[in-house]
Structure 1
Amino acid sequence: MDTAPRTVKANGITLAYRTWGPEDAPPVLLLHSRGTDGADWTPIAERLVSGVRPRRVYAPDLRGHGSSDWPGAGPDTYAYATMRDDIRAFLTALGIDHADVVGHSLGGAVAYLLAQQTPDLVRRLVLEDVPAPIPLDPPRPPAERPDGELPFDWAMIRATDEQRNAPDPVWWDQMGRITMPTLLIGGGSRSLIPQDQIAVLAELIPGARLVTIDAGHLVHETRPEEFLAVVEALLAE
């Protein structure tokens, strides 16, 4: 199985990505959380391609992460909407016009923005421990950069913190545009994400289902069997 990182030009930058599974299998896009990269999904991807219904899995590094471009600070450089546009262009560049999309945390926010803007592109949607776009109260204070090299652009941390403190109201207003079958997975009481916000998000998305797996924020890493069971059930519909 070829899982070496590849690159593609999308939305004016270079995105690195990994892929698994037969090229003619139904595509699944996995979007990672803040501070990680596409390799975070490796154990899940390996399971998705070896099941009864194998999938073609794609796991890009979001801009400012891993081996994708780190554009640095600038207006909208790390806007969630810019990351959404990256992923839409990524799928176009690879000739993918319909995919199941699974997003964790930051990747989940990018996924729901993609589903809002281009619902025909997303066949099924899974949002893992993703908060509703509700302003933080109190706001998250400015983070202090750790010493040494980082596997992500520090400008991305600052920009995404600002958006977490004050999300664009349009994100909330357009949740009703997400019309594909949608599953939300909450991490339960051990998660750093307020679970009542995930419940609110499930109510905003028409017909969405909410499953809680008491694993904390890293559901797919901590409880992979339970995570895969509910995800594969949705993808099989």
Structure 2
Amino acid sequence: MSENGTRTVHTGGVRLVYRAWGAEAGVPVVLLHCLGEDGEDWRGPLISALGGEHPVYALDLRGHGGSDWPGSYAMADFTGDLLGFLDALGLDKAVLVGHSFGSVVAYLFAQEHPGRVDRLVLEETVAMRPLETPQEVPEEPPPGTPRFDREAGVQWARQRNDPDPRWWERLGAVTAPTLLLGGGDGSHLPQEDLHLMAERIPDARVLTVDGAGHLVHEARPMEFTRAVVDFLAES
């Protein structure tokens, strides 16, 4: 363990940094952050609430935080890293909780490896369908010291503008019970997309925390935590 409490694994030649909290037994929970953040983004009441009954892991996705910045950021790279992470820690099955970009990694992984996902929580997720107005691909790096690899944002924008059709078509392959959490008013994402996704995922429902915007777990941490804890407690 490093001085700042992080740990590392290596998978596919990429070093991934993560944090671990909570119980030694129980169904593991893996937290996947949004674009531009890292695992520290999840510190708060959710960790405390889940840690009594679950081992909890917060991963720095490739190109973010302390993990390697290898320059390759296809969605298959991220789902491959997640599989390698679970294998490295010996986690046969896990709950995946993802925010925005991290939620896309989570549900694409659940399509490819349904047997490895116990439950799925998608906070302010993105429907990977072609956009009516393409997203602008960043050309200039932002000022200051970067917190993540700018190339990850460039490649994400390109994949968002030209998504693989299978990402939408295979939502029906997600077998895990799924909670889609929306922020309602204030979110820049079309909230109707969450309902369209829920119609395609066999066991899914939508919960809106109205007025929370895109950062539900930050703007309304207790409501977010209660929604996740109640969902995981269901039989």
> If the TM-score is normalised by the length of the shorter chain, which range does it land in?
over 0.9
Contact 1:11 1:89 in 2 (8 A): yes
Unaligned runs of 5+ in 2: none
> Which residue of structure 2 aligns with residue 158 of structure 1?
154
Report % sequence identity: 51
- Cα offset for 1:142? 2.3
Which stretch has the larger CA shift, 40-49 or 57-66? 40-49
User: Which residue number in structure 2 is paired with residue 46 of structure 1?
Assistant: 48
Cα distance, 1:11 vs. partner?
Answer: 2.4
Structure 1 equivalent of residue 218 of structure 2: 221
Counterpart among 204, 207, 218 of residue 208 in structure 1: 204
C-alpha RMSD of the superposition? 1.3
Aligned to 1:188, what secondary structure does the other structure show?
Answer: coil
Equivalent position of 1:29 in the other structure: 30
* TM-score (normalizing by structure 1): 0.93
- Alignment partner of 1:128 out of 101, 104, 123: 123
- The Cα of 1:208 is off from its aligned counterpart by 0.6
- Equivalent positions of 1:1-237 (< 5 A) are 4-43=5-44, 44-50=46-52, 54-72=53-71, 77-143=72-138, 144-214=140-210, 215-237=212-234
What secondary structure does 1:191 align onto? coil
Deviations 1:115-167 (A, max 9, x none): 10111100011100002111122111222321221110011010001111111
User: What does the per-residue CA deviation read over 1:90-137, in whole Å, with 9 as the maximum and x for residues that have no partner?
Assistant: 000000001111111010000001110111100011100002111122
Q: What's the offset of the Cα at 1:25?
A: 3.2
Residues 187 and 218, structure 1, Cα contact 8 Å, conserved in 2: yes
- Aligned partner of 1:69: which letter? D
Name the SS of the counterpart of 1:193 in structure 2: coil
Partner Cα separation in structure 1 for residue 175 and residue 165 of structure 2: 19
CA shift at 1:189, angstroms? 1.8
State the distance in 1 between where 2:137 and 2:224 align: 33
Query: Where do 5+ consecutive residues of structure 1 fail to align?
Result: none
CA–CA distance in structure 1, aligned partners of residues 117 and 147 of structure 2: 29
Cα separation, 2, equivalents of 1:131 and 1:109: 6
Contact 1:131 1:201 in 2 (8 A): no
Instruction: Please identify, of 152-161 and 141-150, the stretch whose mean Cα deviation from structure 2 is larger.
Output: 141-150
Distance 1:61 1:160 in 2: 16
